[in-house]
Amino acid sequence: MTEPRPNCLSCHCESVVKNGKTRHGKQNYKCRDCGRQFVENPQYQRVLEPIQPMQSLLERLLLEKIPLGGIARVLKVSERWLQRYVLNVV
């Protein structure tokens, strides 16, 4: 019995194939039409632009010398995004 596969998040087509696993152990999928890779239920959401309340909290957490990994878990952002944010602010 085959498991139902999610539709593509970009083009919403149904021609999606499994494409290995992420480093967190989740199933990675790839769209055959547009080529986008995605995870069905991602642990971290992409941050397009920081919201003002989150940005002020982030600034306060950075001043407290909390490790970036801890801040990323609290704010539910990726460590990679947080590192780029810190490098661009300085």
pLDDT in tens, the chain (90 residues): 567 788 888 888 889 999 999 887 889 999 999 988 888 877 766 666 656 677 888 888 989 988 999 999 988 888 888 898 888 876
Q: Encode 34-64: b = buried (16+ Cβ within 10 Å), e = exposed.
A: eeeeebeeeebeeeeeeeeeeeeebeebeee
Token pair recorded at residue 36: 């986008």
| pTM, full prediction | 0.49
3-state secondary structure of 63: helix
Residues in the chain: 90
Instruction: Say which residue the tokens 């878990």 belong to.
Output: 73
> For position 47, what pLDDT does the model report?
60
